[in-house]
Amino acid sequence: MKKSFCILITSALIFCALFAVVACDPESPDTRASRELDTSIVGVWQNAAGEVLAELENYEHESYQFVSDSGQSASSIDFSLDGGKTWMRGELNEDFLAETGRGIYLLMASTDGAFTFNATGSAEDRFPDPSTYHSGDTLSITVRVPESDTHKASAWSEATTYTLKAPSAETDGLFANHYGLFLSDISDYGELSANNFESNGFVVYKEANSVKFGKISSSPSETESGMYEYVFTPFEELGESDKAEIAKLEYKFVSKQEYSQSENGSDLLSSITPSITTFENECLILGRWTQMPEGGIPFSSSDPDLLWEYEIEIPNATTGEIDKSTQRSFILLLRLKATNDTTHSNVKALEYLYPNEPTP
């Protein structure tokens, strides 16, 4: 009896071992369900910081996902930069989704000329080596729906090619300290009072129906210690080297067509808000930028699409009450153009304020 029991136990162990070998055998059939590739790449671009972003449509796959899928969400997507040879898993940028309603993924970051990945993966998953990617390299970007406990990964999509660029220089060094923060009338530069800071660089001003560039230069005051005096040079008197620097810029005006409402119906703009430069630096607003003309930038103050109105409140020191008035303005955006080797720069936003009108 004891011998028979031992034989029975031994047989059971052998059966379990054989079952485990078969279950782990890489040649054994994958019985998980197949899944279709139902997502596609809308576009790939780099923002002002050099980060690589991709927009997908049909990026949610809740019907395929279950709690047992470790570390995987309904919007997880596999990205490959070399046509499927290596890959990484990307997650939806929730901030961009909330702001735009679009499925945007951040694939690569750029730091000091080196690219890194903003995605997950492991060596077993054939995770790509970031050190192999440099400015000028052409990516072959494909996507697929990831595998799960219950489903196989989908097939890879057709490739979208994109050539990496280095981040651009910034515009800050081009514009004058303090005076370069404003878009004023040319009359405001008629006589500039001495002040205690240096200021050298471009300024932007309105003259009639044009917006133009001038330049401020400063020098120590000969009569007041610690003070500086300023000289303004209008566009027509600038040298060719200065005009060549201006020609590297491009511009657009903030229009109501682009900025009046977000995807969820709320206003994006009241005066200059962080949303403008954030959206433009990330290329989330797809309006057309224009090359800088040789003379001034034409502007029509009668164009309702470019004129903004918002209510402002100013404390009245005499009455102790709050005076309300309507502010009218237009907003000009400037940035260094992208080249074959570099991205566009961060965006500089300048607002021209018309005189306030008391609210009835």
Query: pLDDT for 160-180, tens place per residue?
Result: 999 999 988 888 789 999 999
Of residues 130 and 58, which shows the higher confidence score?
Answer: 58
Query: pLDDT for 271-294, tens place per residue?
Result: 456 578 888 899 988 778 999 998
pLDDT band at 226 (very low <50, low <70, confident <90, very high): very high
The fraction of the chain above a pLDDT of 70, given in percent, is 82
Tell me the residue length of the chain.
360
Tell me the C-alpha distance between 207 and 187, whole Å.
9
Tell me the C-alpha distance between 76 and 89, whole Å.
7
Query: pLDDT for 46-73, tens place per residue?
Result: 999 999 999 999 887 655 554 444 556 7
pLDDT band at 17 (very low <50, low <70, confident <90, very high): very low
CB 166 within 8 A of CB 50: yes
CB 253 within 8 A of CB 333: yes
Query: pLDDT for 301-332, tens place per residue?
Result: 889 888 888 788 888 889 989 988 888 889 99
pLDDT band at 119 (very low <50, low <70, confident <90, very high): low
What are the residue ranges spanned by the domains of the chain?
A: 40-163, 184-246, 249-358
Q: For residue 211, what are its two tokens? A: 């917006």
Element (H, E) at 335: strand 322-336
Query: pLDDT for 81-92, tens place per residue?
Result: 998 888 888 888
Answer yes or no: is pLDDT of 117 > 60.
yes
pLDDT value, residue 25 = 52
Of residues 159 and 171, which shows the higher confidence score?
Answer: 159
Answer yes or no: is pLDDT of 5 > 50.
no
**Closest among 131, 41, 46, 121 to 86, alpha carbons compared:** 121
The SS3 of residue 355 is coil
Element (H, E) at 21: helix 2-24
Tell me the C-alpha distance between 52 and 166, whole Å.
11
SS3 string of 76-95? CEEEECECCCCCEEECECHH
Of residues 124 and 296, which shows the higher confidence score?
Answer: 296
pLDDT band at 19 (very low <50, low <70, confident <90, very high): very low
pLDDT band at 264 (very low <50, low <70, confident <90, very high): very low
Tell me the C-alpha distance between 182 and 206, whole Å.
11
CB atoms within 10 A of CB 66: 12
The mean pLDDT of 27-43, rounded to a whole number, is: 86
Answer yes or no: is pLDDT of 265 > 50.
no
pLDDT value, residue 21 = 43
Q: How many CA atoms lie within 13 A of 79 on its CB side?
A: 30
| Bridge partners of residue 185, in order along the sequence | 206
**Closest among 127, 161, 126 to 142, alpha carbons compared:** 161
CB atoms within 10 A of CB 52: 25
Tell me the C-alpha distance between 176 and 182, whole Å.
10
Mean pLDDT score of the chain: 83
Residue with tokens 């910034």: 170
**3 DSSP 8-state letter:** H
pLDDT value, residue 75 = 84
The SS3 of residue 18 is helix
pLDDT band at 142 (very low <50, low <70, confident <90, very high): very high
pLDDT band at 269 (very low <50, low <70, confident <90, very high): low
Residue with tokens 């201006």: 246
pLDDT value, residue 125 = 58
pLDDT value, residue 29 = 85
**Closest among 86, 93, 82, 136 to 113, alpha carbons compared:** 136
Of residues 148 and 8, which shows the higher confidence score?
Answer: 148
